[in-house]
Structure 1
Amino acid sequence: MLHVLVFTIAALAVMVAVQVLADRARLPAAVLLTVTGVVYSLLPGPNVELDPEVVLTLVLPPLLYSAALHSSLSAIRENLRSVVSLSVALVLATSLLVGVAVHALVPEVGFAAAVALGAAASPPDPVAALAIGRRAGLPARLITLIEGEGLLNDATALTTFTVAVTAATSGSFSMGDASLRFVVAAAGGLAVGLFVALVVRRVRPLLHDPVLDSSVSLAVPFAAYLLGEELHVSGVLAVVVTGLVVGHDSPRFTSGASRLQATAVWRLVDFLLEGFVFLLIGQQVPTVVEGLDAYSTSEVVRAAVGTLAVVLLLRPAWLVLTQLLPRALHAQLGGGPSDGRRLSGGEVVVMSWAGTRGVISLAAIFTLPLALDDGSPMHERDLLLFCTYLVVLVTLVGQGLSFTALVHAVGLRPDAADLAQLRNQARVASVEAGLARLERVAAEEELAPEAVESIRASLSARLARYRKRLQVLESAEDGELPVSDSYVAALRTRRAVLDAQREELLRWRDAGRLPDASLRVLERELDHEEHTLPRRPSS
């Protein structure tokens, strides 16, 4: 027990140190953590082997749910054809082509087993892709495509993987039966997700304590996943659908205090689980390599080259093909965003390079059985394990390290000024609605004129500030965000004022004039005020 505790503390210390280093070096923490795990695995001492059941049951559901909560259901729905093209059609094509290539290059690997390898290696990991993409500063429309693809492709890949493994272990395969299983698993996962989301919608208005609301939020992904698996449908898809619907409904059914609490809780969960996942990926080198002695060097090289070639080349080929189709067919097959505009050459290059694989691929391939249904050993298992791990390392480390440079090289940048302008327009509309409601309430209720005037003055000051910011944003050129020296100085001054207020409260506490309980209440008020300030002069 003590060893586990020491190992956990050490892992947490490594995660914190790597995150600090990643922030300073402006490198993806996911890549640095994976490399750290690889280095650790080569050192003498205890190592952690990946348990697929633990990953699929305890790690994957909350990570997918958190990503879905912070995704946009509306944006994914608007880009649904493109998302389906990448998350369903491309995953199926990758699975089958990897199967064909590996079976042709290494005939000793059965076709069904090779398809299982393709299914495990086919889905880009949304956790890694989004962590890297956001740090690289991708435009919002590409983030939406990556989000939608990453959230939905896992269900496609894992369902295909299950069907392929069943065929490989039983020695029989029926296209009709496989297609039926796939449709049932997907439709069932969708239904379970909608059901769990409906239950959450009914329960959350009854929870007035933010702590209770956050507790329920933590339990939801596990409930959705386990219910889906118990009904033999896609638990992964159930989690994703639940997260998308709950995230879309949250503004209507939760209080501001609950949202602030839940945001903090999920940020911590994401940090801990993502750090654990990427460290775990790196530490699998000994497990993956130790079984390769049973194969010739030629077999290993041919299988690895065939898998990597299909995974790395099919994605750009697919994206280019969908852009070259006639406009009508291009729209039907989801060649680009819902506005009908094709992806530019730079966007195709970036989307091609965004296919980083991660722990989902490893968790899937590690579930391969050691023996077939007739009791004979599954000879291909260790080779398939190695090929999948190689794909994960090459895409996660290779593409991850070069992704930001590639984004800058092709000249892509987020539409910062447009996004900031939209947010300020929404702020103006929101404050105007508040002022209108204030006038109606003041007319209907017996309110003191001083109270009404105080609220009106506060809202009017914010309205004037937002309108002034809008005027500045309208003059932005080439999407660059204009930031005036006075704006930066104002933000710095507001933070200095808040610091002075906190210091005075601490002096009162230290002098015995203010109880600690009261100090925490007043500090929370200042913390909420500071939370409304932008982290950097942006929007």
Structure 2
Amino acid sequence: MIATLALVLGGLAVVMLAHAVADRTGLPAPILLVVAGIGYGYLPLPGATLELDPEIVLYLIIPPLLYAAALQSSLMGLRRNARTVVGLSVFLVVVTALAVGFGLSAVIAVPLSVAVAIGAAVAPPDPVAALAIGRRAGLPPRLITIVEGEGLLNDATALTILKVAVAAAVSGSFSPAGAVGQFLLVAAGGLAVGMVVALLMTWLRRFITDSLIDNALSLATPFATFLVAEELHVSGVLAVVVAGLWLSHRNPYLQSSGARLQKRAVWRFVEYLLEGYVFVLIGQQLPGLVADLKVYEPGTVVIAATVTTVIVLGVRPLWLLASAHLPTRMHARLGGDPKPGNPPLSGRELLALSWAGTRGVITLAAAYIVPVDVPNRDLLLFCAYVVVLVTLIGQGLTFAPLLRRLRIPGTDVARALTRNQARVAAVEAALARLDDLVEEDPDLAPATEPLRQSAQLRLERYTSRVEHLSSAEDDELPVDTDYHHGLMARREMIAAEREEMLSWRDSGQLLDADLRILERELDHQESILPRDRPEH
């Protein structure tokens, strides 16, 4: 028990240190964590390495990570980019799995069904690293939506193919028609379970007023959804994603402001810890995998790993290029007919997407599902691990420089303009509601006048920002000096208020319980202020 506790604390220290270094150096935190995990695994300490248990990953790590990603995704954005997302998360995964399967079976003595199973394991990208890098480097919102959508849905496709391939390997028979039928049944079942759970949670939240209970229910949702789906032998991954997307879309109507603030903090912390431990766990697997390769010829290992990696890296850009040149009629049939607000992807955007295919822990967890008595299993696991390392470290380190070189036109000014136009409309609606209240009950007029003045000031500020942004001539956000000075002054005011409250507490005039109430009020005010630079 003491050794386990020490291992957990050591992993936590690695996670915190890697993020601190990433903040200071600009290096991607996932890559630092993987490298740290490799070094951690080679430490001459008893129990320094945790062996990856696929069931723990699939049942305890993947559901909350997928659910957290779904909560941050846009259902409307996924609908607008449905053709591209479905193409990447379904058809590309199938093509990659088959290509890797035929390639591996051609160079090493392994049954095609087993090779396809490993192909399914390496087929789905894990967008965590790509998005962490892309957001910092200025990846446009549309591409972020596509990468998020792909990462949410491709795991379900890959795991379904994997289960079918493993079943074929065990039974020694394979039916293409039966495999397609099973895939459709599992996917449809996952969609149904996800929607049923989402509707149930929507109904339950009508009776919940306590933020803590609400967020406890939110934490339980991905596990409950996954468990129900797996018990029914349908896609638990797809069920979790569907439930998360629907609840994210409906949350503004379901949760109180306090519950939403708490939920964001809770899920951000869950993601921070789970993603950190996951990348460390990936790095830790290298020593054991290398030790299991002693029975193979070095040439065989190099050829198998190279074939797998080259196919994985090559199929993605070829697929994107081919799908971009589909006839217009096929675009329409697939739900992706280009519209003025959703034009076809440009060549630079396609290149950025082709390099956003980093693999992660789902690849390793899926690879470990392959039965232990399968020939060359250790070599196949190593091939999957090489793909993870090459995409995580190779693509991860080069993704940001590539985005800078591509100079993909962003939409910062357009999005800032839309946000402020929405703010203007919202404040105007609030003022109209005050007018209605006063008209219904004139006695409310004195109480509403301060609110009206405050709203009028915000309306003037937002209108000024709309005019400022409308005059921008390029995609660089214009600097609003008055706005920047106002933010700085507001921060100083909050700091002064906090210092005065602390002096009251230290002098014994204010109880700690009362300080926490007042401090929470200031924290809420400070939390809505931009951190690094003013967000228009």
Quick one: which of 519, 528, 532 aligns to 1:532?
528
Q: Deviations over 1:210-239 (max 9, x none)?
A: 111110000000000011100000000000
What is the DSSP-based 3-state SS (H/G/I as helix, E as strand, rest coil) of the residue aligned with 1:188? helix
Aligned to 2:38: 38
TM-score by length of 2: 0.97
Query: Which structure 2 residues correspond to residues 231-270 of structure 1 after superposition, within 5 A?
Result: 231-270=232-271
Q: 1:81 to 1:526 in 2, by over 3 A?
A: same
Aligned to 1:399: 395
Mapped contact 1:362–1:388 kept (Cα < 8 A): yes
Aligned to 1:4: 4
Query: Which structure 2 residues correspond to residues 110-129 of structure 1 after superposition, within 5 A?
Result: 110-129=111-130
User: Aligned partners of 1:395 and 1:149: how far apart in 2?
Assistant: 16
Mapped contact 1:82–1:333 kept (Cα < 8 A): no
Mapped contact 1:98–1:307 kept (Cα < 8 A): yes
Q: Which 10-residue stretch deviates more, 518-527 or 483-492?
A: 483-492
Query: Which structure 2 residues correspond to residues 474-489 of structure 1 after superposition, within 5 A?
Result: 474-489=470-485
- CA apart distance, 1:446: 5.0
User: Aligned partners of 1:24 and 1:98: how far apart in 2?
Assistant: 39
Paired letter, 2:534? P
Q: Which 10-residue stretch deviates more, 477-486 or 112-121?
A: 477-486
Aligned to 1:516: 512
Mapped contact 2:67–2:244 kept (Cα < 8 A): yes
User: Aligned partners of 2:515 and 2:337: how far apart in 1?
Assistant: 53
What is the DSSP-based 3-state SS (H/G/I as helix, E as strand, rest coil) of the residue aligned with 1:293? coil
Aligned to 1:375: none
Quick one: which of 68, 71, 74 aligns to 1:72?
74
User: Aligned partners of 2:482 and 2:140: how far apart in 1?
Assistant: 28
Mapped contact 1:85–1:335 kept (Cα < 8 A): no
Aligned to 1:207: 208
Quick one: which of 73, 82, 104 aligns to 2:106?
104
Mapped contact 1:357–1:395 kept (Cα < 8 A): yes
Mapped contact 1:73–1:248 kept (Cα < 8 A): yes
Quick one: which of 474, 486, 489 aligns to 1:490?
486
Mapped contact 1:194–1:245 kept (Cα < 8 A): yes
Q: Aligned residues, how many? A: 532
Two-structure CA RMSD over aligned residues (Å): 1.4
- CA apart distance, 1:163: 0.4
Mapped contact 1:193–1:239 kept (Cα < 8 A): yes
Paired letter, 1:6? A
Aligned to 1:56: 58
Aligned to 2:469: 473
- CA apart distance, 1:331: 4.4
User: Aligned partners of 1:340 and 1:503: how far apart in 2?
Assistant: 50
Query: Which structure 2 residues correspond to residues 274-293 of structure 1 after superposition, within 5 A?
Result: 274-293=275-294
- CA apart distance, 1:132: 2.4
Aligned to 1:374: none
Aligned to 2:94: 92
Q: Deviations over 1:318-348 (max 9, x none)?
A: 1111222333334445779764522112111
Query: Which structure 2 residues correspond to residues 86-485 of structure 1 after superposition, within 5 A?
Result: 86-106=88-108, 108-333=109-334, 339=341, 341-371=343-373, 378-412=374-408, 414-445=410-441, 447-485=443-481
Q: 1:174 to 1:538 in 2, by over 3 A?
A: same
User: Aligned partners of 2:294 and 2:113: how far apart in 1?
Assistant: 23
Q: Deviations over 1:449-477 (max 9, x none)?
A: 33111010011111111111111111222
Q: 1:335 to 1:100 in 2, by over 3 A?
A: farther
Q: 1:522 to 1:413 in 2, by over 3 A?
A: farther
Aligned sequence identity (%): 54
User: Aligned partners of 1:85 and 1:138: how far apart in 2?
Assistant: 20
User: Aligned partners of 2:205 and 2:114: how far apart in 1?
Assistant: 45
What is the DSSP-based 3-state SS (H/G/I as helix, E as strand, rest coil) of the residue aligned with 2:294? helix
TM-score by length of 1: 0.96
User: Aligned partners of 2:296 and 2:282: how far apart in 1?
Assistant: 23
Paired letter, 2:520? R
Mapped contact 2:328–2:337 kept (Cα < 8 A): no
- CA apart distance, 1:28: 1.4
User: Aligned partners of 1:72 and 1:463: how far apart in 2?
Assistant: 28
User: Aligned partners of 1:203 and 1:69: how far apart in 2?
Assistant: 18
User: Aligned partners of 1:163 and 1:325: how far apart in 2?
Assistant: 30
Aligned to 1:499: 495
What is the DSSP-based 3-state SS (H/G/I as helix, E as strand, rest coil) of the residue aligned with 1:386? helix
- CA apart distance, 1:412: 2.0
User: Aligned partners of 1:42 and 1:397: how far apart in 2?
Assistant: 19
- CA apart distance, 1:4: 1.7
Q: Which 10-residue stretch deviates more, 239-248 or 320-329?
A: 320-329
What is the DSSP-based 3-state SS (H/G/I as helix, E as strand, rest coil) of the residue aligned with 2:21? helix
Paired letter, 1:343? L
- CA apart distance, 1:297: 2.1
User: Aligned partners of 1:8 and 1:484: how far apart in 2?
Assistant: 47
User: Aligned partners of 1:481 and 1:336: how far apart in 2?
Assistant: 31
Q: Deviations over 1:38-89 (max 9, x none)?
A: 1222221221111111110001100000000110011101211111111000
User: Aligned partners of 1:401 and 1:336: how far apart in 2?
Assistant: 34
User: Aligned partners of 1:203 and 1:169: how far apart in 2?
Assistant: 43
Q: Which runs of 5+ in 2 are unaligned?
A: none
Q: Which 10-residue stretch deviates more, 410-419 or 214-223?
A: 410-419
Mapped contact 2:127–2:357 kept (Cα < 8 A): no
- CA apart distance, 1:167: 0.8
User: Aligned partners of 1:54 and 1:337: how far apart in 2?
Assistant: 42
Q: 1:404 to 1:169 in 2, by over 3 A?
A: same
Q: Which 10-residue stretch deviates more, 259-268 or 331-340?
A: 331-340
Q: Deviations over 1:74-123 (max 9, x none)?
A: 110121111111100000000011111111122x1110011001100000
What is the DSSP-based 3-state SS (H/G/I as helix, E as strand, rest coil) of the residue aligned with 1:533? coil
Q: Which 10-residue stretch deviates more, 232-241 or 127-136?
A: 127-136
Q: Which 10-residue stretch deviates more, 462-471 or 336-345?
A: 336-345
